[in-house]
Amino acid sequence: MWRTNPIENAEIKARVYYKAFSMPVFSCDSGLYFDGLEEALQPGTYVRRVNGRELTDEEMLVYYSMLARKNGNKLIARYRNAIFLIFDENTCFSSMDISIASEPFILTSVPHKKRVKGFPLDSLSLDIQTGKYYYDLTERTTIHDNMDIGLREFFENALSGLN
């Protein structure tokens, strides 16, 4: 049973694998969240499902373009990531801290002409610093540096918590 919260999904998956293999395991999940958007419209883990219906790539482009248009033609978005680490039934660590979230980006109402099957929202995603579509950036800096640091800190803290 899936939940709307990434941390709940990560926990469900980690516990299933822990039970199956009887060894420490971690699991991750993520959800899409928009700044200033009411809770009922937050996709969370249901990025592709709207009103209980699974959307095609093209339907996602239409839905999220309209959502951006209704919000001033750009929404500040980020993927909130969660991690759940289980060592045994009584020793678990979890986080959905902002330090492991993606960098914020702009979701625009005007799709880029480029499409990659299975990743429709990439066509609506703009770099927040340059305002350019990610597809049009010639030099990409490592936008995951902060997330990598956050994940490393999570594991360091979890492992030090075992002592």
Mean pLDDT over 77-81 rounds to: 95
Q: The whole model's pTM is what? A: 0.86
Q: Is the pLDDT of residue 132 over 90?
A: yes
Q: How far apart are CA 158 and CA 92, in angstroms?
A: 8
Fold classification of 6-160 is Maf protein (3.90.950)
Per-residue pLDDT at 1 exceeds 60: no
Mind listing the pLDDT tens digit for each residue in 107-129? Answer: 999 999 999 999 999 999 999 99
Give 6-26 pLDDT, tens digit per residue.
Answer: 999 999 999 999 999 999 999
Token output for 64:
């999220």
